[in-house]
Amino acid sequence: MVRTMINELLFFKKLGVNIKNLRFERGLSRSKIARLSGLRNNFLKRIENGKALKLKPFHLLILASVFELKLSEFFNGI
């Protein structure tokens, strides 16, 4: 059980790093992503820091749309 929790936390952390890197590569601020996605800036910050443990698939679909990516591209390298 502890191992599963650790793996889950690592997954969210890596996912957050991927999303943050995409944002930086595109030269977008977190505020801009918040405006485009309708997600709160603070929630985006928690996603990028791997602390948004209530992250739902539809949140990722919204972000994929903003970044003009396939959902699977968020998971590269994880």
pLDDT, position 4: 84
Q: By residue range, what is the domain housing residue 50?
A: 2-75
Total domains in the fold of the chain: 1
Phi-psi region of 41 (alpha: psi -120 to 50; beta: other; left: phi over 0): alpha
Which CATH number fits the domain that encloses residue 12? 1.10.260.40
Residue closest to 48 by CA, chosen among 27, 73, 24:
24
Residue whose tokens read 């996605």: 37
Express each pLDDT in 37-75 by its tens digit.
Answer: 999 999 999 999 999 978 999 999 999 999 999 988 888
Residue type, 31: S
Backbone angles phi, psi at 59, to 5 degrees: -65, -45
Percent of the chain with pLDDT over 70: 100
Residue type, 50: G
Total-model pTM: 0.88
Kind and range of the H or E run holding 45 = helix 41-48
pLDDT, position 58: 94
Band (27; pLDDT cuts 50, 70, 90): very high
